[in-house]
Amino acid sequence: MKDMNKLIITVTTANSWINPELKNWASNTDELIEDAVQCARAGASILHVHLPRSPEASQVVKRIREKTDAIIQAGMSSYPIEERITDFEARPDMISNILNHHDEHFTGTHVDRLHTLEEFEEYSKKCKEYGIKPEWEVWHTGSYWNLQYMIDKGWFEGPHVLTLFFGWPGGTWSPPTPDSYLYRVKYMPENCLHTISVMGKEQTAIATLAIANGGNVRVGTEDYPFITEGVPAKNNAELVERMVRISREMGREVANPMEARKIIGI
């Protein structure tokens, strides 16, 4: 692993979509900010945060930046771009964008929303206007077709930051298995770096595979709120600490925010 970049850990601080009864995540803005800061101290260099759909979003970003230099990534790519203006105005370092149709089935919630090439072109303009780097959510290889189209059009500059999703229920589901991961990596466009997001107990197996293959890892209550199967984490920092420990035991060091910024081109 000497020739690999250090591991970039992303943490998702939001609620669990499939285990809403756990409540082991922040319930208000103050708790959200403290959670994010504690995760950064634990070893997360990217903080994936669901900002409020209001001007308060700018204050949340400001308050987090007052306490940590970790990369702030605005989540909730399911919203259409016209409903994300407060995300842009908050000026996070990154913004999440799904590269395909949203089709997710969670406990009591079904998300069904189309995202088009025309919308991605508008993202190109907005990201350049506000100086924000996109993070691309990849759910199947059709996502790569869309990404390559945008690369060929010159809409976005690399390195392109991808998050590969596995085990998320719904019409864009893909199996959280080693062969599914390796297939997705095989067909990845050039000049990309990837993170894995696994919703389910298979997270550790796919995370270790990614660590061994130069990928990066996303953990947190939104993805999988358990420290081990059936045992809820006390908080998100505990989930980050566990992944830091696993990576170091595998011989791969963890990137700090400054190193992560250099790797992903911020």
Tens of pLDDT, residues 157-201: 999 999 999 999 999 999 999 999 999 999 999 999 999 999 999
- At 58 the pLDDT is 96
Residue 62 host element (H or E): helix 56-65
Round to whole Å and give the CA distance between 57 and 236: 21
Sign of the CA dihedral 219, 220, 221, 225? Answer: positive
- At 106 the pLDDT is 87
Residue 54 confidence (pLDDT) above 60: yes
* Cβ–Cβ < 8 Å for 39, 240: yes
In the chain, % of residues over pLDDT 90: 87
Round to whole Å and give the CA distance between 143 and 67: 35
In the CATH hierarchy, which fold is given to the domain comprising 9-264?
TIM Barrel (3.20.20)
* Cβ–Cβ < 8 Å for 174, 143: no
Question: What is the widest separation between alpha-carbon atoms in the chain?
Answer: 47
In this structure, what token pair is assigned to residue 258? Answer: 């400054």
Residue bearing tokens 């959510």: 137
Name the residue ranges covered by the structural domains of the chain: 9-264
Residue-wise burial string across 144-167, b where 16 or more C-beta atoms lie within 10 A, e elsewhere: bebbeebbeeebbeeebbbbbbbb
Residue 115 confidence (pLDDT) above 60: yes
Q: How confident is the model at residue 4 (pLDDT cuts 50, 70, 90)?
A: confident
* Cβ–Cβ < 8 Å for 41, 5: no
